[in-house]
Amino acid sequence: MNITLTTQVSATGDLIIPVVQTDTLADQLTDLAPKLGISAEVLQRDFKADAKEVLAVYGPNDQKTYLLGIGADPMEMDWLRAFRKFFFDQKSKLPAQLAIDLTAFAGSVSQGVVLGVRWGGYDLKLYQTDKPEGPIFFSEAGELTIYVTPEQQEAAEKALSQAEAIAQTHRQMLDLMNAPANYKNPQTLADWAVESGGQNGYSVTVLDKAELERQKLGALLSVSRGSDVPPVLIIAEYKPEGIENLQKVGLVAKGVTFDTGGVSIKSSASMHLMKSDMGGAAAVLGTVEVAAKLKLPIHVIGIVPSTENSTDGSSTKPGDVVTAYSGKTIEIIDTDAEGRVILADGLGYMVRNFQPDVLIDLATLTGSVIGALGYHAAGMFTKNNQLAAQLTEAADQTGEQLWRLPLWDVYNEDIKSDVADVKNYSGKPVAGSISAAKFLEVFSEKHVAWAHLDIAGMAFADTEFGSQKNATGFGIRLLIAYLQILLAEKA
């Protein structure tokens, strides 16, 4: 499906008109009524512009106009969700050609609109053999025209370009996250990164098991011991040429392609969802690719330690002590707290080899953060107030929400080990996400601009695409917005 912008509004063809719920809604509907061939009284009675509300009206020559409610005071995520649901629900009924009238809004809303449209065409049925032919609108024959005013055009074109770059990457990340373990392993992520780097002009280095052993990434290797699938460390680096004094941002992510819990095995009830335990990896790999596509003037390094966490006679056992890349020793209390263990090596490798100005890690790390925040925000941990403010601004802008939780040193007691430098699990039924963050803080090596994002409740969610939780691609839009905030502050 092709998307174009135009300032020439046509009177023919099916049309979507988004409507925001404001104090002047009655006047807006009164103005629309004659164009729709319906009385203002009926229109005001039948349509309230609630978020995701749809009213379809047939006009002359069977032209169909959809009024789409966006709700009150919409942000980018509200536009995205409204259009995503509309296009997902209506996709089998839509004609090949369709238009959206955005002439009443700022050009920047095009980004949320386009992301919603693209996401609305996502098909979760990745491996079904009897799928019907896809809807014509989302085929190569599909054409979407977005109407804007001449004054909006420049901002709308910029928003469209960024949305298309994000949407293409986002779709690939959804496919990777939704893929089961027999279709996806650490090498799959590495292969994706290598191909993407070749296509988009950034470098990718993959450390295989032999190299991990040579460089002594003992924490990552310890988690992989129970699997017959070898681990990798993926290093994706985007550095635009010819620009001096680039800010250097290091992104580290958990890439567990399936998590049984190891010897501390999970219950079977939800284990099938553990194919999603590489949500942080999806965010970081996706962010590096989008930054390269957009040619952002910033140096971004993404490091993804990737492994399965399985179990056999060779598995790391509770009570074992392993040595991380940094040289620090870790007492393994719970093998199901493996994400922080592999991140220890990822963080250590980033700090010692790249010395980034900013260090951020993302991981589907703890159920505890879901207990604290539910499925509406990721936990943010940092002692750097400026970094917290920048990430919060990016979260508010994109709607991928964050909530700051404490990193007080009083919680150090939770990771104190009798036999090693630290232990990977407190054993307490409280403050689990905080003790995990305190563990990671050790391996950030006191970096002054480090933040940990626990995205366990956000990377996999209930959506309109399926009856079970499925991938959201959380973090890509957030991190791209954060990088752009950094650039704006430097300018």
Q: Could you tell me which residues are annotated as the binding site for Mn(2+)?
A: 254, 259, 277, 336, 338
Name residues whose C-beta falls within 8 Å of residue 277's C-beta, 6 or more positions apart in sequence: 254, 256, 257, 258, 259, 309, 339, 364
Please identify which of the residues 293, 328, 340, 438 carries the catalytic annotation. 340
* Angle between helical axes of 385-398 and 476-490 (0-180°, round to 10): 120
Does residue 295 have an active-site annotation?
Answer: no
Does residue 171 have an active-site annotation?
Answer: no
Q: Which residues pair with 302 in a beta bridge?
A: 236, 251
228: number of Cβ within 10 Å? 10
Asked if 378 contacts 471 with a C-beta cutoff of 8 angstroms, the reply is no
Asked if 239 contacts 204 with a C-beta cutoff of 8 angstroms, the reply is no
199: number of Cβ within 10 Å? 11
Tokens matching residue 82? 């409204």
Distances (CA, A) of 225 to 231, 313, 319, 333, 392: 9, 9, 15, 16, 38
Annotated binding-site residues read 254, 259, 277, 336, 338
Please identify which of the residues 48, 158, 171, 266 carries the catalytic annotation. 266
Question: How is residue 96 annotated by DSSP?
Answer: S
d(CA 479, CA 359): 12
Tokens matching residue 111? 């980004």
338: number of Cβ within 10 Å? 30
* Residues with a known catalytic role: 266, 340
